[in-house]
Chain A
Amino acid sequence: MNKLYEKYIKTDSLPTLFCPGCGNGIIQIAAMEAMEKLGVKDDIACVSGIGCSSWIPCYYKLDVMHTMHGRALAFAEGLKLARPDKKIMVFTGDGDCLAIGGNHLLHAAGRNIDLTVVMANNYIYGMTGGQKSPSTPKGSVTKTSPFGSIDEPVDGCKLVMALGASYVARWTTAHPVQLAKSIAEGIEHKGFSFIEVLTQCPVQAGKNVYGEKDPSAIMQKYKENTYLFKEDKEPEPGKTPIGVFRNDDKAEEYIEKIERKLKEQGIERG
């Protein structure tokens, strides 16, 4: 077995409950690589919500909180405020983060609180069997949009950027090296880091949503249908931008703001 696996994965909890061809394993490894690169294993805890992607950290040899649907960020904010000296990584999915957890996302991003959020976006509710999610592309046929989805998909990256998240990136499971690098940058970054990962769900979304059911073909599409974002580069119509959209080291973090206020007003902390 891979040395990284031995160090980070509870082998007695295997196999994972991910379906064959699922992209979550790639995200699981990328996050392990990021933690290993930074050497933060003893100083990081994970929090997740409900959904397939929220099972990612449950196999880690780390302190992990597998919480309620949509509420991972609220739990993580409490944990972070209790232990500001530690790093907290949040695993969530498109439904967990953008639908039921949308309110918490708005406010956590707005606070610019020091969390690293990895949002696995497979465009579908996988665990419940393939229903439309907030990011499902318009027109997609799913179990709850039998005539094609009519809702405008939510762009999580644009949303958190508008609210003041200070590190924002998007990659896909076809970009595992870049993804690991971004997660490491997110962990190191002091502030709200949001890393979206387009990941395949060949079983529940497959042909209806991606037009392909073979996992490697879906990943190939990720390569073809994305372009690397650069400030001075024109957007490519019909393609999804990937890359680091924002990395702002100057933005003041939430706990720093609290400490500054107390200092300004000369309030002693007991």
Chain B
Amino acid sequence: MEKRQSAGKEVVLQGNEACAKGALYAGCRFFAGYPITPSTEIIEMMSGEMLKSGGAFIQMEDEIGSACAIIGARWGGKKAMTATSGPGYTLMQEAIGFAAVTETPIVIVNVQRGGPSTGQPTLSSQQDIYQARYGSHGDYGIIVLSPSSVQEMYDFTVRAFELAEQFRTPVILLADEVIGHMREKIVVEDGSKNIKSAKQKYVVSPQADFFMGENSLVEGQLHDSMGRRIGHIATKSGEFINNINKKINDNINVIADIDTYFMEDANVAIVAYGSVVRPSMNAVKLARGIKDDRIIPKFRIFRDLFKKGVQETIQTDYSHLQVGLVKINTVWPFPEELLKEATKDVDIVIVPEMNIGKYCREVERALKDKTVIPMSKCGGDIHTPSEILDEILKEVGVDE
């Protein structure tokens, strides 16, 4: 992935605000949404910003209507986004399938909360990791990005618009409550980025934007290059399904993005995505005895709690552990080759997740020759660094 080059303006923003700012910078000029915790700050910010920037905003009657409205707006030529959480994301699934089959470039933000059902409106989770990939009925390809900082909420939102246009596909920004509500100092750009749509290269059945005089037919049934239905013809339908999956899967090398930290000499790797990257990184630093002042809280009450945690951690000797971190930025399509390459020298891979251990299965499938350990945590609390380290110790053994 192209990393940030230009030096912009430094601001302190909340994750959800950073997402809205990123969308504005990416040229998003249509937002439809429905308020839902913990994503509401995005619709709040977009309600004013869209109108001020010459775009359009509508608060729809529900989430499925919001997803449909952004698809409609995109065919009207406006880059479009919606944002939601939990039940709202589930309600959008049918429209995500429609966007995939009609190759509509849209961005959908899911600031994950705990489920199922109404679940945990105010607490975080990573339970939607499979829904983001397989949520709508039928087989389709999709791109899902997972930010782990406020800066990445901004950067990945911009990236989501780029990927959506490049591959003519819905792109999901799979954030979570921790990242959505966290405040950090980040760098934002001025003005607006000119993201162009790569029309022909990665399109199965190209249709022009509306009102270009091309008589586009945007069809939810499987269709030929003219938009005419082929759903009743098995051979043509099979080809269509293969092609909309292939256009994503065959371009993993362009889409997939991971970052590695301390992996040069590592024999244990933590594979993490989203907010869980943060305690994972701290676990790595603790294990390697790296002092990082930025992770010490400012308020005394938290600082005391933190010190207690650190002291408990420090009592254990982790010096024999050489722990590294693989941070997954594009969770789907699964960055299999990149992950294999990054972990080729490690024996143990630990996958902390705020769900019942879902992404871990995918990691296990890819890294068959390694010991892959799920580290599931449900309930809304994020893993602590010492929890992650203790889990590693359990596997490696203290006396090794």
User: Which A residues fall within an 8 A CB radius of B?
Assistant: 10, 13, 42-43, 45, 47, 50, 58, 60-68, 71, 74-83, 86, 103-104, 106-107, 258, 262, 267-270
User: Which B residues fall within an 8 A CB radius of A?
Assistant: 30, 32, 51-54, 56, 58, 60-62, 64-66, 68-78, 80, 94-95, 98, 210-211, 213-221, 227-229
A45 to chain B, nearest CB (A): 5
> Number of A-B pairs whose CB atoms are under 8 Å?
131
**Most interface-central of B73, B77, B80, B210 (chain A CB within 10 A):** B210
Q: Are A63 and B210 in contact (CB under 8 A)?
A: yes
From A42, A43, A47, B72 is in contact (CB under 8 Å) with: A47
Q: Are A78 and B210 in contact (CB under 8 A)?
A: no
Q: Are B51 and A77 in contact (CB under 8 A)?
A: no
3 residue pairs, one from A and one from B, having the closest CB atoms: A82-B76, A78-B72, A78-B69
Q: Which residues of A contact B80 (CB under 8 A)?
A: 78, 82
Distance A104 CA – B69 CA, assembled complex (angstroms): 11
Q: Are A76 and B72 in contact (CB under 8 A)?
A: yes
Distance A106 CA – B215 CA, assembled complex (angstroms): 30
User: Which secondary structure dominates where chain B touches chain A?
Assistant: mixed
Q: Which residue of B lies closest to A255 (CB)?
A: B56
From A13, A43, A64, A267, B51 is in contact (CB under 8 Å) with: A267
Distance A270 CA – B51 CA, assembled complex (angstroms): 8
Q: Which residues of A contact B228 (CB under 8 A)?
A: 13
Distance A76 CA – B69 CA, assembled complex (angstroms): 7
Known A78-B30, A103-B61, A103-B62; contact A83-B69, beta-carbon cutoff 8 A = no
Extra contacts besides A66-B221, A81-B76 (16): CB < 8 Å: A60-B215, A61-B215, A63-B215, A63-B217, A64-B216, A67-B71, A74-B60, A74-B64, A74-B66, A74-B69, A77-B72, A78-B74, A80-B76, A82-B78, A104-B61, A258-B56
Q: Are B218 and A64 in contact (CB under 8 A)?
A: yes
Q: Which residues of B contact A66 (CB under 8 A)?
A: 217-221
Q: Are A58 and B220 in contact (CB under 8 A)?
A: no
Distance A258 CA – B54 CA, assembled complex (angstroms): 12
Q: Which residues of A contact B73 (CB under 8 A)?
A: 78-79, 81-82
From B53, B66, B229, A270 is in contact (CB under 8 Å) with: B53
Distance A259 CA – B75 CA, assembled complex (angstroms): 22
Q: Which residue of B lies closest to A71 (CB)?
A: B68
Distance A264 CA – B220 CA, assembled complex (angstroms): 41
A119 to chain B, nearest CB (A): 18
Known A66-B221, A74-B65; contact A82-B56, beta-carbon cutoff 8 A = yes
Q: Which residues of A contact B229 (CB under 8 A)?
A: 58
Q: Which residues of B contact A107 (CB under 8 A)?
A: 60-61, 65
Q: Which residues of B contact A104 (CB under 8 A)?
A: 61, 65
Known A42-B213, A66-B220, A78-B32; contact A71-B95, beta-carbon cutoff 8 A = yes
Q: Which residue of B lies closest to A63 (CB)?
A: B210
Distance A47 CA – B215 CA, assembled complex (angstroms): 13
Q: Which residue of B lies closest to A76 (CB)?
A: B72
Q: Are B64 and A79 in contact (CB under 8 A)?
A: no
- 15 of the cross-chain contacts (CB-CB < 8 Å) are A13-B228, A62-B215, A64-B217, A68-B95, A68-B220, A71-B65, A74-B60, A76-B72, A77-B32, A78-B32, A78-B80, A83-B210, A106-B61, A107-B60, A269-B53
Distance A107 CA – B76 CA, assembled complex (angstroms): 21
Distance A21 CA – B80 CA, assembled complex (angstroms): 42
Q: Which residue of A lies closest to B66 (CB)?
A: A74
Q: Which residues of B contact A64 (CB under 8 A)?
A: 215-218, 227
Q: Which residues of A contact B51 (CB under 8 A)?
A: 258, 262, 267, 269
Q: Are A45 and B95 in contact (CB under 8 A)?
A: no
B148 to chain A, nearest CB (A): 31
Q: Are A75 and B72 in contact (CB under 8 A)?
A: yes
Q: Which residues of A contact B65 (CB under 8 A)?
A: 71, 74, 103-104, 107
Distance A104 CA – B30 CA, assembled complex (angstroms): 19
B217 to chain A, nearest CB (A): 5
Distance A242 CA – B98 CA, assembled complex (angstroms): 36
Q: Which residues of A contact B60 (CB under 8 A)?
A: 74, 77, 107
Known A75-B69, A78-B72, A79-B210; contact A269-B54, beta-carbon cutoff 8 A = yes
Q: Which residues of A contact B52 (CB under 8 A)?
A: 267-270
Q: Are A81 and B56 in contact (CB under 8 A)?
A: yes
Q: Which residues of B contact A67 (CB under 8 A)?
A: 68, 71, 98, 218, 220
Q: Which residue of A lies closest to B207 (CB)?
A: A63
From A13, A45, A68, B94 is in contact (CB under 8 Å) with: A68
Distance A77 CA – B72 CA, assembled complex (angstroms): 7
Distance A75 CA – B77 CA, assembled complex (angstroms): 13
Q: Are A45 and B210 in contact (CB under 8 A)?
A: yes
Distance A267 CA – B51 CA, assembled complex (angstroms): 9
Q: Are B71 and A82 in contact (CB under 8 A)?
A: no
**Most interface-central of A47, A60, A75, A269 (chain B CB within 10 A):** A75
Distance A23 CA – B17 CA, assembled complex (angstroms): 51
Q: Which residue of B lies closest to A77 (CB)?
A: B69
Distance A132 CA – B94 CA, assembled complex (angstroms): 24
Q: Are A83 and B95 in contact (CB under 8 A)?
A: no
Q: Are A65 and B58 in contact (CB under 8 A)?
A: no
Distance A269 CA – B52 CA, assembled complex (angstroms): 5
From A45, A50, A106, B211 is in contact (CB under 8 Å) with: A45
Q: Which residue of A lies closest to B216 (CB)?
A: A63
Q: Are B68 and A81 in contact (CB under 8 A)?
A: no
